[in-house]
Amino acid sequence: MAKTAIQPTRDEDFPTWYQAVVQQGELAEMAHVRGCMVIKPWGYGIWELLRDQMDRRIRETGHENAYFPLFVPLSYIRKEAAHVEGFAKEMAVVTHHRLEMRDGELVPAGELEEPVVVRPTSETIIGESMKRWIQSYRDLPLLLNQWANVVRWEMRPRVLLRTVEFLWQEGHTAHASPGEAREETAKMHEVYREFAEHVLAMPVIAGEKPASERFPGAENTYTIEAMMQDGKALQCGTSHFLGQNFSRAADMIFTDENGELVHPWTTSWGVSTRLIGGLVMVHGDDDGLRIPPAVAPTQIVVIPYTRDDERDDALLAYCRSVAAEVESTARFRNGPVRVKVDERLHRPVDKKWQWIKRGVPIIVELGGREADAGTVTFRRRSAANERETVGRAEFAADVGALLEELQSGYLDQARAFMAANTRDDIVDFEGFTAAFAVEGRTPFVLAKWCERASCEEPLKPLAVTIRCLPLAQRGGEAPCVVCGQPATIDAVFARSY
């Protein structure tokens, strides 16, 4: 069996493989601060591209960016009882405002009159501002978004998936009618679905969460769920219809067209840096990362094949000219191609494997032979062991289409994997239990559910939850896969992160 760059392989130990890919792919690492992470330049470059393309979509739907405080007074949090209950165990609380030297040690002093919570999410703090900004129906809709960090005291941290501090965007909107707020919720849910598939090449199931999985305080929560290569689900983005729950708690009132005082209907929605963890687990292979070109900080890397620790100025000049031709000629999704010449004095083979593990879409390897012939030798990350040689002009002309081919190929491969590992033929709990009894990869099970909360209890010993009720329903009548009673709604059952 051929040795792979990442040990162990996905099939041997998926959790350890994931950690190795994140580390050797130079994405992120756990920090010396408990539960926090350091996002390295390559990982942060992915986040910046992800953020910019998401931000454009948010702005195109009429939202404006703002920024709200990191600290939330405890009294604001207490106003929303259901919200507090859902986040209480995860909240970090600041109780003092200075340090003093006592017996040779710095200790907290100056107890705060009112403790403040480090932002776990911003419904309550943004609600206080919305209360002042909204007076009349003419002030609505109010469409806000912020890019920020949040803190949730995670007991079992895992880099890029669950950490005490992480980065995200959170949208918050207020509307004059429930219909308008529901339309907003559905619109942003669809933005997330399209973004996951078009930009991240990550197929998802779009659906509504059951009551047990809703965002605390929401009337409806909608999600996009992706399948990782171990068969587990990853919640990749959520959009919440909050009804009037938060506006009542914040005493947010406006005068409607009839002169009546009304609480607005609000929404919230968000995605986070866990999308990068999802990219690893959807697209990675046993040699490391495979980054879709749309979010690859470098889409093409050019490696000069010189002798070890030697500099060949003529070859470097050829490498730079090839890179310049690609930058000036090639286009990918209406933008220039991101290309880099790796001029570091390391062994070319070491540089090649570093970029393979980083997941760069295309690696160009140029030596004296290519320079003399005016050609380009390259390998696609989707087939890292295969090399092709073409003329440099041909390469520059075709590389945009090649990147799009890689992007769509990753999506097609992930879609095929999800289809092959989704069971839609299970009709009773015996078959259901058997599907989740196997070691290693477990499936998504698409089956009927009666919508009784009592039917979620037998799932707990299996570590299975209802991930969503898909928007695309198959229709028809069939028994609930758990209890056998009549059921008419499809549900996706899976283990999850």
Q: Start-end ranges of CATH 3.30.110.30 in the chain?
A: 423-494
pLDDT, tens digit (0-9, with 9 covering 90-100), for 199-245: 999 999 999 999 999 999 999 999 999 999 999 999 999 999 999 99
Output the pLDDT for position 308. Answer: 65
Output the pLDDT for position 83. Answer: 74
Output the pLDDT for position 82. Answer: 72
Of 77-86, 350-359, 487-496, the one with minimum mean pLDDT is: 77-86
What is the C-alpha separation between 301 and 326, in angstroms, rounded? 11
Q: Name the percent of the chain lying above pLDDT 70.
A: 99
Cis preceding-peptide flag for 8 (omega within 30 of 0): yes
Question: CA 170, 176, 181: angle at the middle one, nearest 5?
Answer: 45
In sign, the C-alpha dihedral spanning 205, 206, 207, 213 is positive
Output the pLDDT for position 2. Answer: 67
Q: Name the percent of the chain lying above pLDDT 90.
A: 94
CA 497 to centroid of chain Cα atoms: 12
Distances (CA, A) of 35 to 43, 79, 154, 168: 18, 29, 7, 17
Would you say residue 440 has pLDDT above 90? no
Say if pTM beats, i.e. exceeds, 0.85: yes
Would you say residue 1 has pLDDT above 70? no
| Mean pLDDT of the 321-349 span | 96
Output the pLDDT for position 86. Answer: 76
Helix, strand or coil for residue 456? helix
Can you tell me which residue has the tokens 């919720």? 185
Output the pLDDT for position 236. Answer: 98
Q: Start-end ranges of CATH 3.40.50.800 in the chain?
A: 293-406
What is the C-alpha separation between 89 and 85, in angstroms, rounded? 8
| Mean pLDDT of the 336-343 span | 97
Cis preceding-peptide flag for 141 (omega within 30 of 0): yes
Q: Provide the CATH topology of domain 423-494.
A: Translation Initiation Factor IF3 (3.30.110)
Quick one: tokens of 147?
Answer: 């890019």
Output the pLDDT for position 135. Answer: 97
What's the first-to-final CA gap in the chain, in angstroms? 31
Question: CA 440, 443, 445: angle at the middle one, nearest 5?
Answer: 150
What is the C-alpha separation between 114 and 83, in angstroms, rounded? 19
What is the C-alpha separation between 497 and 493, in angstroms, rounded? 13
What is the C-alpha separation between 432 and 429, in angstroms, rounded? 5
Would you say residue 309 has pLDDT above 70? no
In this structure, whether the domain defined by 14-283 belongs to CATH 3.30.930.10 is answered with yes
pLDDT confidence band for 462 (50 / 70 / 90): very high
Distances (CA, A) of 352 to 287, 336, 346, 385: 12, 23, 10, 11
pLDDT, tens digit (0-9, with 9 covering 90-100), for 52-61: 999 999 999 9
pLDDT, tens digit (0-9, with 9 covering 90-100), for 86-127: 788 999 999 999 999 999 999 999 999 999 999 999 999 999
Quick one: tokens of 203?
Answer: 């197929």
Q: Which CATH number fits domain 293-406: 3.20.20.70, 3.40.50.800, 3.40.50.720, 3.90.220.20?
A: 3.40.50.800
To the nearest whole number, what is the mean pLDDT of the chain? 96
Of 82-86, 135-139, 154-158, 277-281, the one with minimum mean pLDDT is: 82-86
